[in-house]
Amino acid sequence: MLQKKRYRYNPQTLAYELHRTPFSVLFSRGLAFVLCTIISSLFYFWVYTDYLKLGTPKMLQLKRENADLLASLDLMNRQIERADQKLERLKQRDNNIYRPIFGEPEIPDEVRNAGFGGVDRYNHLEFISNDNFLSGIVMRFDQLSKKTVIQSESFDRIGRLAEQTDEMASSIPHILPVNLAEKGFRFSSQFGYRKDPIDGVIRKHSGIDISGPSGAEIYATGDGVVKKCGNELSGYGNYIIIDHGFGFKTRYAHLQNGGILVKEGQKVSRGEVIGLLGSTGRSIGPHIHYEVLIRDEQVNPNNYYSNDIDSGEYDKLISTVRGQ
């Protein structure tokens, strides 16, 4: 189609002349049209999205994807919470059942729930609009992973101890250092606070005392290695410390002079004679002061010997050791 020609009357020449629009005018009109179009589009886009609260197909798709992601994160958060509750039950069993069976101390909460170093550990999530929610999930997952590793290591430790059950059974102090059924033996002092028989001051007694005839044989209460033989003139007198392993030690004090019958580093068996009863050190009469220590903490020895071993069984145990 041919472009329509335009003519304009020229008063100078008194004639109609062909009119040509300058390029600059055409360019200006085109530019104005483009700008008006852009402004109108932006205005309609604002009205559509902000005023009418409608979204573009792309925005609606992104919103749906964002909602799906938030739902997945919320599900993951609930799963982490359930896993944490299960791990808490395992921790209670570990601390209250499994570890005490093998004489292991509880794992402190400050170790199980230790934080993570570095204040900027999660700063890469700050650009996300839900950064608090997301970083909270990541932090809980990190803590759950760390607690799981600690619990797994604890069970590995208990498993190794369980494999050593036979050795442990013979090593844990399980009898008294004398046969209480024999004539002349009696408990003279128990574990705990008492009036000191020498100065009358109330103080804690760290073991049990069994009075008996001077020179009576003292027996190892569990398998172990003699850790120390010593003398404290104003305290234990002549004494022996046996390391039974698994965190257990025992002390036998106030043995008579020359009454230490073992040496440091010597292996001994339950029921083996290790010394002779006496009255050395801070003592007012012949007796054996007997202590049980777990990780160097003195505990009540009454919890670590069997009351159902009668005199015949005790003698049979001792004779078995002597026959080795």
Q: Residue 316 contacts by C-beta under 8 Å, 6 or more apart in sequence?
A: none
Q: Which whole number is the average pLDDT over 15-37?
A: 79
Minimum mean pLDDT range among 40-44, 193-197, 242-246, 290-294: 40-44
69 versus 122: which is more confidently predicted? 69
Residue indicated by tokens 């003292």: 218
**What type of residue is 46?**
W
pLDDT tens digits, one per residue of 38-87? 888 887 777 766 666 666 667 777 778 877 877 887 888 888 888 888 88
Cα 97 to Cα 93, 105, 158, 168: the distances in Å are 5, 11, 11, 17
Strand residue runs (E) in 69-108: none
Structural fold of domain 172-322 = Glucose Permease (Domain IIA) (2.70.70)
pLDDT tens digits, one per residue of 277-291? 999 999 999 999 999
Residue indicated by tokens 């799906």: 68
Query: What residue spans define the domains of the chain?
Result: 7-51, 57-163, 172-322
Q: How far apart are CA 188 and CA 185, in angstroms?
A: 9
Its pTM stands at 0.56
Token pair recorded at residue 109: 């909460």
Residue 1: band (very low, low, confident or very high) from pLDDT cuts 50, 70, 90? very low
State the burial class of residue 288 (Cβ atoms within 10 Å of its Cβ: 0-12, 13-18, 19+). buried
Q: What is the pLDDT of residue 251?
A: 98
Token pair recorded at residue 215: 């020179």
pLDDT tens digits, one per residue of 124-167? 555 555 556 667 777 778 888 888 888 888 888 888 777 777 77
| Residue 195 DSSP SS3 | strand
Asked if residue 22 has pLDDT above 80, the reply is: no
Residue indicated by tokens 């209670």: 92
The 10 Å Cβ neighbour count of residue 113 is: 11
